[in-house]
Amino acid sequence: MSVPVEVIAHYAEGQEHARLTSGHGRLELWRTQDILLRNLPPAPARVLDVGGGPGIYAEWLAGLGYAVHVVDPVRLHVEQAASLAGVTAAVGDARALAERDATYDVVLALGPLYHLLERADRVRAWQEFGRVVVPGGLVAAAAISRYAALNDGLRKEVILDPSFRHVVEGNLTDGTHRNDACLPDRFTTAYFHHPDELAGEVADAGLLLRGVLGVECTAWLVATLPVMLDDPVRRGLLLDWLRRIEAEPTLLGVSSHLLVLASP
């Protein structure tokens, strides 16, 4: 069981921290936090952040009084997360967690699912999340929408570039995303879910689905989004509106990320 070398190499470049803290990426961060705050048990509670990257969510949760442990296959991420106050971290893989059964109140998995190309691996990861969380606890896992790269290409007006078509054809055909030419801004090896697939993976892992929510919903396609996010009043109004449409099934595929909530 190994993580593809190109995935490790992609994250070893150390770009992950900046992704969520600037420009459009802040919408993913603030919307994910908004959803989590409405669903997490109160602090102090034990959170296992699988695929926690450099620890942006871990640091935020530790600051709120949660006990957070990060697991990630990228050594740089583990070092970055372990340096944060109130956060511990170790190298590991979502499909074979070292943690004992029912030892966490919450499992966050904001990354691993979309780097597992095989359905059996994703179901295995869901089983592991369910195993380590207490009965009735929360598993919150992120997926990338099948249409995310296509919509991103429309937004950035690169959709007519032949190299773009080559990458996105795979997304639309079977959800696989590969960037064999290592083109900048085209991400790395991943699996992009159709929203309708998620319930089946959760059920096959023996977990109870609590909801599938759009994270950015339609708002990430707005060119002036960063300006809106800079202004706390307009940002607040935007977040209010997105709460209203986050669970609308006909809009899920338009969102870049989806957040799946489940319980053992």
Ligand X SMILES: C[S@@+](CC[C@H](N)C(=O)[O-])C[C@H]1O[C@@H](n2cnc3c(N)ncnc32)[C@H](O)[C@@H]1O
Binding stretches for ligand X (CB under 6 A):
3, 7, 11, 16, 20, 50-53, 56-57, 72-74, 77, 93-94, 110-112, 115
Q: Which is nearer to ligand X, 151 or 189 (CB)?
A: 189
Q: Number of C-alpha atoms within 13 angstroms, CB side, residue 97?
A: 28
Would you say 64 or 231 has its CB closer to ligand X? 64
Identity of the residue, 61 or 254, whose beta carbon is nearer to ligand X in the bound complex: 61
Q: Least Å distance between CB 124 and ligand X?
A: 10
State how far Cα 171 lies from the chain centre: 17
Nearest-10 Cα torsion for 196, 197, 199, 204:
160
**Burial of 26: CB neighbours in 10 Å, binned 0-12, 13-18, 19+:** middle
In the bound state with ligand X, the residue whose beta carbon lies nearer, of 74 and 238, is 74
* Closest separation in Å from C-beta 173 to ligand X: 22
Shortest distance in whole angstroms from residue 74 CB to ligand X: 4
Nearest approach in angstroms of CB 1 to ligand X is 8
Question: If you ran DSSP here, which 8-state letter would residue 253 be given?
Answer: G
For 160, other C-beta atoms within 10 Å of its C-beta total 8
Residue with tokens 């959170």: 47
